[in-house]
Amino acid sequence: MLRHSITVTAYHADGTICPSAHRHTTGGTPLTEGCTGRERFIATCNCKKWTSSPSSTKSYAAEQGKRHRADQPQPKPTTASKGPAALRELLQLDAED
């Protein structure tokens, strides 16, 4: 089963991606020469079936991604993932002796 992974990407006003190498102040003012600033953020999932609506903040786009991931079915645990509990059951260890 697919594990849903969310990626948030920043975009300039002209639609080009604003790379993470572009530095900004906490208020969003660009510090990198030639950067026009981040206009919007879009979250996408690796399932290729979901993309968020454009958001003005990175945190809101990330929150939309978390909600998408929470709505997806969870992978079923395998017997190998039960670890020591499965081993104790197989060995039938008794702590009372």
Query: What's the chain's average pLDDT?
Result: 83
Contacts of 68 (CB under 8 A, 6+ apart): 4, 6, 43, 45, 50, 52
- Higher-confidence residue of 25 and 78: namely 25
CA 81/CA 83 separation, integer angstroms = 5
Global pTM? 0.68
Given a cut of 80, whether residue 5 has pLDDT beyond it is yes
pLDDT tens per residue across span 45-83? 998 889 999 999 999 999 999 999 888 887 666 655 566
